[in-house]
Structure 1
Amino acid sequence: MGGMQTDAHKLTIVPEGMIADLLTRQAAFDAVEKVFASMASGEARNFPVVRAALGHEDALYGFKGGFDRAGGVLGLKAGGYWPHNLERRGLINHQSTVLLFDPDSGRVNAMVGGNLLTALRTAAASSVSIKHLARDDAKTLGMIGAGHQSAFQLRAALEIRDFEKVIGWNLHPDKLGSLAQVAKSMGVPFEAVPLERMTEADVIISITSSFNAVLMADHVSPGTHVACMGTDTIGKQEVEVALLAKASVFTDEVAQSVSIGEAQHAISMGLITETDVKQIGAVISGSHVGRQSDDEITLFDGTGVGLQDLAVADSIVKAAVAQGLATVVQL
């Protein structure tokens, strides 16, 4: 047995119900911004995504993982989409859990509820893109989609910039009430509009699960920043390929953008190439200039990477431990 470690090993557990009190939008923003920069510098990498249909409950299940050498974070998010949860069980359809491991030994360190975390990290990603790519004088925010994620997106965007107005569109306009309430709570007027009026927006966030383009190139004015946050699967599409052809395209991870993100369609049609898609981390770290003119259209393809989940989970664990709120189990 010589040389084997026998020290007590602890597992830190942060359940779903605690995360709303532990994770601020600022902390989520900082974690995502930092890990995007680490990805661009080569210090952090995502592992290949595993995703499969269960053949049970019409569910999709999978794993996203990665290692951030700079942040010392290793782990995975396991979970997926159970489309009947809400109607049958009163649970949200997206369910996930994050596991963090010690990079030095491989031992499991923490287990963190992943549902709210996923919503907050997705919203953080779009607001990181707004900070680094939108015009400084952007005043009108356009929202496309009014599902579960949209309110998180709107709150994060309104915190990162002083928008003076929010305009919104959804396939079913009666669902826009939740966005109107968020805008009102943050002191910003909201108006439901047809898609043609998205030309009034300086920043547009699309967060839908569409498989057909919703936002067309002529719905977007010169100088607009567009954050496409819904396309994360082969076949999904939120914006017309012509928009990517005329925009400067940035993403969280190029390999995902061109295979399962918004860029998949423009690339398959030959309108852009993989080299046209740039990592937003390069803008954050200063190795890419980002926006180069006031009339340039910038587009962020937010495909969602495992490293986002891990970075945010790590900040949650640190906050829980610091506040004495985590459950610690001896293994």
Structure 2
Amino acid sequence: MLIIPESLIADLVSSEDAFTAVEATFAAMARGEAYNFPVVREALGEGRQYGFKSGLDRSGGQLGVKAGGYFPGNAAKGIINHQSTVFLFDPETGRPTAMVGGGLLTALRTAAASAISIDRLARPDANVLGMVGAGHQAGFQLRAAARVRKFQKVIAWNLHPDMLPKLAAIATELGLPFEAVPLDRMVEADVIITITSSPAASLMSAHVADGTHLACMGTDTVGKQEVEPALLGRASVFADEVAQSVSLGEAQHAVAGGLLDATAITPLGDVLVGRHPGRRSAAEITLFDGTGVGLQDLAVAAMAVRRAEERGLGSRVTV
């Protein structure tokens, strides 16, 4: 088994690599060549969450599981709140083949999924990017979004405004003007990314203009919520996986409230393989409910393994 520690990941997998891997995963899911196993998620108290995401991709030859969760007290200890490790297995024999640090990979694959949704669903002329959330993953989201659309400005809101300067620095690095705004000014955005760990909606339907594309990336657990359910009722809703979206994604609240029928949610992979046209008009609101599926983690971890093997990196152990 090859062990690839977190410290090696940045040199092995780029944001472009993650985009390619996640895009291939969406397409494989749409073709029925890959599927996710049921998510296991447990609340550990004091806001801590731990769980397992796993799946099988027959086309990519990937079988595995990501173990990890959210530990809100970590920031005070100088480590990120999201902690995870990906384990890969030989799909023919079940023998373990790799153990891969999952922290950066999770951030990269989450941003890649969001960027793919923007690439396929946002208006071509979108030029104002709205960011709701300014935590660790927000910077990855901003960089990935800027690669698929030529934005002219970034506006952002965060519950704790003192965190916004870090996001502003990334926007400046990308050559984009940045402005901290109240939530009601999100109506000026053509694309909005929500990336928070909120238990209650902050972005309301009144904050979103017709024609906007939203990538809702923070809700991945029962009880979490970033946007008002009425917003999903106005939008054409897409998801990484419909069942997961309905059970623990942003759609859980809209479906439970009768504002959205689960059968109306479209897998994003259907757009990639040409089964669904995606955006149908300039005035349409499109919303991607990105819950983060295990197959994405396996895909980026497998890429890290291939790169490590090519370069002779990592440690081999016999198990």
What is the TM-score when the length of structure 1 is the normalising length?
0.93
C-alpha displacement of 1:58: 6.2
Partner of 1:3: none
Q: Would the alpha carbon gap of residues 86 and 174 (structure 1) be closer, same or farther in structure 2, given more than 3 Å must change?
A: closer
Pick one of 22, 40, 45 that aligns with 1:50: 40
Pick one of 86, 91, 102 that aligns with 2:75: 86
Equivalent position amino acid for 1:143 in 2: M
Identity of aligned residues (%): 65
Partner of 1:37: 27
Matched, 1:98 2:93: no
Matched, 1:263 2:251: yes
Unaligned runs of at least 5 residues, structure 1: 1-10
Output the CA distance in 1 between the equivalents of 2:178 and 2:73.
32
Output the CA distance in 1 between the equivalents of 2:101 and 2:134.
24
Output the CA distance in 2 between the equivalents of 1:106 and 1:280.
30
Equivalent position amino acid for 1:17 in 2: S
C-alpha displacement of 1:84: 2.3
Partner of 1:8: none
C-alpha displacement of 1:110: 0.7
Pick one of 184, 199, 205 that aligns with 1:211: 199
C-alpha displacement of 1:330: 4.0
Output the CA distance in 2 between the equivalents of 1:177 and 1:104.
49
Partner of 1:228: 216
Q: Would the alpha carbon gap of residues 165 and 76 (structure 1) be closer, same or farther in structure 2, given more than 3 Å must change?
A: same
Counting only pairs closer than 5 Å after superposition, residues 185-196 of structure 1 correspond to structure 2 as 185-196=173-184
C-alpha displacement of 1:120: 0.9
Equivalent position amino acid for 1:289 in 2: P
Pick one of 56, 76, 85 that aligns with 1:67: 56
C-alpha displacement of 1:82: 2.5
Give deviations 1:185-205, integer Å, cap 9, x for gaps. Answer: 111111111111111111000
Equivalent position amino acid for 1:110 in 2: A
Unaligned runs of at least 5 residues, structure 2: none
Structure 1 SS opposite 2:317: strand
Output the CA distance in 2 between the equivalents of 1:142 and 1:254.
25
Equivalent position amino acid for 2:2 in 1: T
Matched, 1:128 2:116: yes
Structure 1 SS opposite 2:99: strand
Pick one of 270, 279, 286 that aligns with 1:282: 270
Q: Which runs of 4+ in 1 moved over 3 A?
A: none
Pick one of 231, 245, 266 that aligns with 1:243: 231
What is the TM-score when the length of structure 2 is the normalising length?
0.97
Give deviations 1:193-241, integer Å, cap 9, x for gaps. Answer: 1111111111000001112111111111111100000111111111111
Q: Considering only CA atoms, is the larger Rg found in Structure 1 or Structure 2?
A: 1
Please, what is the CA RMSD of the aligned residues? 1.3
Output the CA distance in 1 between the equivalents of 2:44 and 2:201.
28
Output the CA distance in 1 between the equivalents of 2:149 and 2:304.
24
Output the CA distance in 1 between the equivalents of 2:188 and 2:140.
22
Structure 2 SS opposite 1:61: strand
Output the CA distance in 1 between the equivalents of 2:255 and 2:269.
21
Q: Would the alpha carbon gap of residues 145 and 54 (structure 1) be closer, same or farther in structure 2, given more than 3 Å must change?
A: closer
Structure 1 SS opposite 2:215: strand
C-alpha displacement of 1:327: 2.2
Output the CA distance in 2 between the equivalents of 1:238 and 1:301.
11
Output the CA distance in 2 between the equivalents of 1:328 and 1:101.
15
Equivalent pairs counted in the alignment come to 319
Output the CA distance in 2 between the equivalents of 1:53 and 1:91.
20
Structure 1 SS opposite 2:266: strand
